[in-house]
Structure 1
Amino acid sequence: MQSSSDLFPVALMSAELRGDLTEDVYRLKPGNSPDPSVELVLTRLGRFGHEGARGVPVILVHGSFSNRRFWYSPKGLGLGPHLARIGFDVWIAEMRGHGLSPRNQQYRRNRVADYARYDLPVIAAFVREQNGQVPHWIGHSLGGTTLAAALGGQYLGEGDVASAALFGSQISRIYWPLKVPPVAWSSRLLLKRFGVLSGSRLKRGPEDEPIGVALESLRWHGLFGRFGDAERDWWAGLSDVQVPVLAVAAAGDQQDPVWACRKLVEQVPTEHRHFLQLAKDEGFSDDFGHIEMLVSKAAEREVWPLVVYWLEHQRLPAATSTAEAMAL
């Protein structure tokens, strides 16, 4: 079968009409990581009748226990279709073993380090090849954390990222028991007995997560842990980022609190960092939650227009009621 790319083998899995949208699903087999079995699936959304027009590319990255349906429902609803309908070239990534992306041979060992170092650069390269422009990125929860890791590790640079928006993403929330070595060791031994964490059993979402991600998180939050891998300190590397970065936090988010989301973006140089808090005190209709900040009727009315403005201007509008919507 002829590849859809000159970079590495890519198969067009399907090309469908979904109402007023076109849906092209690509399977990438880059062969660039230690596990050569890795395949990644990208879904491109476009407007029917405008197939030849390539708008500004936007790549959406889901969080943990999730897949492309966070951005794009079977009924054609969500931020992804919204952006496609107004002319953006929308690409929805699914991480290893999530959604349409098959589980690789070493699935249980997958880590954010692998996503950031191997997978996101491949996705960026393919989108640039297909579109000809540098893409914008939007990540939710672990998707945003993965983007931060790729930026801090310098796996993605100015040629790969026009801007990055991180929704409900942080690494600074403290879990004090994990600072106690015996507790940390016991937790690691317990987790190693499992291959995956079940999203359905934990009531966290429709997908499983490889145990490697959980073990990696334990290391980050341990007594001498850091946001990075054996080779690079991603946290320190964020101070060298040269692209606009927006962090959005929700006042009602119990999982990724506002202060921790703010702390992440504060690692980015002042001239490139922006922060927005979704809260009643800031003029929004509600204290948004972790999911509701992007998936809700209120988000469609109040948050999605700000996302569009950000993608068009790489800043937030001066009329935004929150004083912290502008650069810190």
Structure 2
Amino acid sequence: MSNRQEDLRVPINDRDTLFLKRIRHAERQGPPVLMIHGMMSNGRVFYSHGGKGLAHFLARQGYDVFVADLRGKGKSTPRIDADARHGQTEMICEDLPALHATVRRLSGDQPVHWMSHSWGGVLLNSTLLRYPELIDQVASLVHFAAKRSVQVRNIHKLIEIDLMWNWVLRGVTRRVGYLPARRLKFGADNETNKTHWQIKRWAKASPWIDSDDGFDYGAAARHTRLPPALYLAAQNDPCRGHPHDVKRFRDESGPHVSRVHLLGRRTGYRHDYDHISLLTHPDAAQEHFQLLLHWLRGHHDRVPENY
């Protein structure tokens, strides 16, 4: 039996509207899950129209899944161009609280499980550190390849981050007025000039401080307890979500129930998953997606820390 799908719109202001795809079981409606993609991406990393992906997997288990397109991405409007002025501060302070409130309203004010891919995890943890009143409304966190600073040193980091992201793409972004990642075939979606600049600062191991108002997320993490969080890292992810950087992000997010779990052959999996395949590989549903079910049900002890 196919899952039910519904397209929702979440207005943020007079200009911007976010797209929210709802995917749920045809007969059961269980706990809500909100999914947030990373940068140069959109919500399609979590689902296909043919019923594949993590969102459909969880919906078949009875979860009520909501997949967001962040501002200007995917089917959110308007699309990012040189006139777009928002950045990650607006995503943290406006987009995520609005998406969470919408999911809560539609699911009867139940606690929501938050899930992310890549930089989406930084946005989620940052939102909770800035707005700790939301923590009791979040049942758990699951982050796929989430890292904030890129401190690993290898040739991939030198080319992809130091050369391409920090230098080449920064030059293109300043010249064009936004990062045309789709046209350059560097990602699934574009980024604003402000977002690129803000991420560039944080990824260079700068302090976890907001460039707009100076809010210190790192300081907040030292006295804030986040919901139970599962940090999944891929063995074949040399710089965009290297396991060292994933673990560092977990540690700097403060004391909370958490696991860093590595997905690779040396930890018992069939494949050395990479930054994308840990979400999209056909075997994921039979392998590590099963861990998510334990985590979502609160069986944290059944998910080992193996890195």
TM over 0.5: yes
SS of the aligned residue for 2:16 comes to: coil
Task: Give the letter aligned to residue 157 of structure 1.
Answer: L
Match of 2:24 in 1: 46
Match of 1:56 in 2: 31
Q: After the TM superposition, which of the residue ranges 99-108 and 62-71 deviates more from structure 2?
A: 99-108
**What is the CA-CA distance between 1:237 and the residue it aligns to?**
2.1
Picking from 63, 75, 95, the partner of 1:119 is 95
| Residues in 1 aligned to 2:97 and 2:114: alpha-carbon distance in whole angstroms | 12
Task: Give the letter aligned to residue 200 of structure 1.
Answer: R
SS of the aligned residue for 2:115 comes to: strand
Match of 1:149 in 2: 126
Q: How does 1:30-109 map to 2 (within 5 A)?
A: 30-31=12-13, 36-48=14-26, 50=27, 53-103=28-78, 108-109=84-85
Task: Give the letter aligned to residue 129 of structure 1.
Answer: R
Picking from 244, 265, 270, the partner of 1:280 is 265
Post-superposition Cα deviations, 1:104-152, rounded to whole Å, max 9, x if no partner, equal: 7886322121111111111111111111201001100121121122123
Q: How does 1:1-328 map to 2 (within 5 A)?
A: 20-31=2-13, 36-48=14-26, 50=27, 53-103=28-78, 108-132=84-108, 133-154=110-131, 157-174=134-151, 191-221=173-203, 225-229=206-210, 230-239=213-222, 240-254=224-238, 255-313=240-298, 315=300, 317=302, 323-324=306-307
| Residues in 2 aligned to 1:221 and 1:269: alpha-carbon distance in whole angstroms | 18
Task: Give the letter aligned to residue 114 of structure 1.
Answer: E
Identity rate, percent: 28
Relative distance call for 1:39 and 1:155 in structure 2 (3 A) is farther
Task: Give the letter aligned to residue 174 of structure 2.
Answer: K
| Residues in 2 aligned to 1:323 and 1:277: alpha-carbon distance in whole angstroms | 6
SS of the aligned residue for 1:166 comes to: strand
| Residues in 1 aligned to 2:32 and 2:122: alpha-carbon distance in whole angstroms | 20
Q: After the TM superposition, which of the residue ranges 84-93 and 168-177 deviates more from structure 2?
A: 168-177
Preserved contact between residue 47 and residue 85 of structure 1 (Cα < 8 Å): yes
Relative distance call for 1:146 and 1:274 in structure 2 (3 A) is same
Segments of structure 1 that go 5 or more residues without pairing to the other structure are: 1-18
Q: After the TM superposition, which of the residue ranges 65-74 and 106-115 deviates more from structure 2?
A: 106-115
Relative distance call for 1:107 and 1:44 in structure 2 (3 A) is farther
| Residues in 2 aligned to 1:72 and 1:187: alpha-carbon distance in whole angstroms | 28
Task: Give the letter aligned to residue 263 of structure 1.
Answer: R
SS of the aligned residue for 1:98 comes to: coil
Relative distance call for 1:80 and 1:282 in structure 2 (3 A) is same
Relative distance call for 1:192 and 1:54 in structure 2 (3 A) is same
Task: Give the letter aligned to residue 87 of structure 2.
Answer: R
Preserved contact between residue 235 and residue 263 of structure 2 (Cα < 8 Å): yes
Higher relative contact order (CA 8 A, sep 6+): 2
Post-superposition Cα deviations, 1:220-278, rounded to whole Å, max 9, x if no partner, equal: 2458x322313311233223133111211111112221100001111244442221111
| Residues in 1 aligned to 2:301 and 2:193: alpha-carbon distance in whole angstroms | 37
Superposition RMSD in Å: 2.7
Larger radius of gyration: 1
Post-superposition Cα deviations, 1:77-111, rounded to whole Å, max 9, x if no partner, equal: 11101111110011111101111111278863221
Segments of structure 2 that go 5 or more residues without pairing to the other structure are: 152-156
Task: Give the letter aligned to residue 191 of structure 2.
Answer: E
TM-score by length of 1: 0.80
Task: Give the letter aligned to residue 208 of structure 1.
Answer: N
| Residues in 2 aligned to 1:251 and 1:98: alpha-carbon distance in whole angstroms | 28
Preserved contact between residue 87 and residue 194 of structure 2 (Cα < 8 Å): yes
| Residues in 1 aligned to 2:133 and 2:234: alpha-carbon distance in whole angstroms | 26
